[in-house]
Structure 1
Amino acid sequence: MQIQIRFIPEQTAYLGPELRPHFLLEKWKIRGSALAAFVGPCEVKTGDLVDWEDRLENDFIRAKLMVHFLGEFFGISLSEGVLYQRLFMATAGAEISRATGKPVSRDGDDLFWFDGKDPRKLSVSIVTASPVSVLLHAGINLDAAGAPVKAAGLFDLGMRGLNPSDSTAPSSAESEPITALVMRILELFQAEVASIEWACAKVRPVV
Structure 2
Amino acid sequence: MECIIIDKRIDYDGSQISSLWAYNLADVQADSIIGFRGACDVKIEHMIDLEDKKQGDLIFSTDMLHFVIEHFDSTDLKLVYARQRLFTSIVREVLSLRYSDITRNGDDLFIGEKKLTISIASTSAVSQKIHFGINVLHDHYGSLEDMGIQEDEVMVVLQEIAEAYVREFDDIEKDLRKSRSLDVI
Class of the TM-score when normalised by the shorter of the 2 chains = over 0.9
Uncovered stretches (5+) of structure 2, i.e. residues with no partner:
none
1:30-109 matched pairs, under 5 angstroms: 30-76=28-74, 77-99=76-98, 101-109=99-107
One-letter code aligned to 1:140: I
| Total equivalences in the alignment | 182
Cα distance in 1 for residues equivalent to 2:88 and 2:80: 12
Aligned to 1:124, which of 111, 114, 118? 118
Displacement after TM superposition at 1:66 (Å): 0.1
- Give the distance between the partners of 2:179 and 2:8, measured in 1 at CA: 43
- Supply the distance in 1 between the matched residues of 2:27 and 2:57 (Cα, whole angstroms): 32
Amino acid paired to 1:73: H
Cα deviation for residue 45 of structure 1 reads 2.7
> Partner amino acid for 2:56?
N
Q: Which residue of 1 is the match for residue 146 of structure 2?
A: 156
Please tell me the residue identity of whatever aligns with 2:121. Answer: V
The one-letter amino acid paired with 1:95 is V
Question: Is the 1:102–1:157 contact (alpha carbons within 8 Å) kept by the matching residues of 2?
Answer: no
Query: How far is 1:50 from its partner?
Result: 0.4
Please list every run of 5 or more consecutive structure 1 residues that lacks an aligned counterpart in the other structure: 162-174
Q: Which amino acid aligns with 1:97?
A: S
Amino acid at match of 2:80: G
Give the Cα separation in 1 of the matches to 2:173 and 2:181.
15
C-alpha distance in 2 between matches for 1:60 and 1:44: 7
The separation in 1 between residues aligned to 2:7 and 2:39, in whole angstroms, is 14
Of 194-203 and 129-138, deviating more is: 194-203
Letter in 1 for 2:69: G
Provide, for residues 53-105 of structure 1, a one-character-per-residue CA deviation record: whole Å limited to 9, x for no partner.
21121112001100000111101222221111111111101211212x33111
The TM-score, its normalising length taken from structure 2, stands at: 0.93
Cα 1:102–1:204 change in 2 (3 A) is: closer
What is aligned with 2:128?
Answer: 134
